[in-house]
Amino acid sequence: MDAATSDIRAVEFTPSSDGDSPILPKLLNQIPEGEEIGTVTADGAYDTRRCHAAIIDRQATPIIPIRKNGRPWKEDCPAAITRNETLRATRHYGRAFWKRWTGYHVRSRIEAKMRCLEAFGERIAARDPDRQTAEIQIRIALINRFNALGTAEIVRVA
């Protein structure tokens, strides 16, 4: 989700039997290469080497809380170094401070946006994969348009 406009930028639907973290590289690949990604915010389920590496490869900053039982990783790649810095900060300052400091609370806006997407219906009506993709893209375009219409325009008077 684009933090400035709250538009959904990439989406991937998976069956409930699949985990979410293996999908993150595919999501990042949906955003064009030349387009800058500032941060990627995700929950602790995305605290994996694959996710951290995919985020670092796109020159973005991962904002992923370390799992409760998280241990330092062997610092053999930039992703491990970044993740270990997060682990040290979390241990030193505490989880609550780390969340405020990094802006992790923005993730709740993303979760609210996904609930809006689910308001169109949790199930996909189409059976054909191409039509399913089109159905999801239409839902996202509608939500992004609703969001644009509902965003207040603030003008300074004095």
Q: What is the pLDDT of residues 80-118, one digit of tens each?
A: 999 999 999 999 999 889 888 888 877 777 777 777 777
Is pLDDT above 70 for 143?
yes
Rounded to the nearest 10°, the torsion over CA 146, 41, 95, 90 is: -160
**Which one-letter DSSP state was computed for residue 67?**
P
Q: Where are the domains of the chain?
A: 21-150
Instruction: Please name every residue paired with 40 in a beta bridge, in sequence order, or none if there are none.
Output: 62
Average per-residue pLDDT in the chain? 82
> C-alpha 155: how far from its chain's center?
30
> How many other C-beta atoms are found inside a 10 Å radius of the C-beta of residue 144?
18
| Residue pLDDT, tens place only, 25-71 | 888 888 888 888 888 888 888 899 999 999 999 999 998 998 888 89
What is the C-alpha separation between 13 and 129, in angstroms, rounded?
Answer: 12
User: pLDDT over 70 for what percent of the chain?
Assistant: 91
Take residue 39 and report the two structure tokens written for it. Answer: 């941060």
- pLDDT attached to residue 70: 86
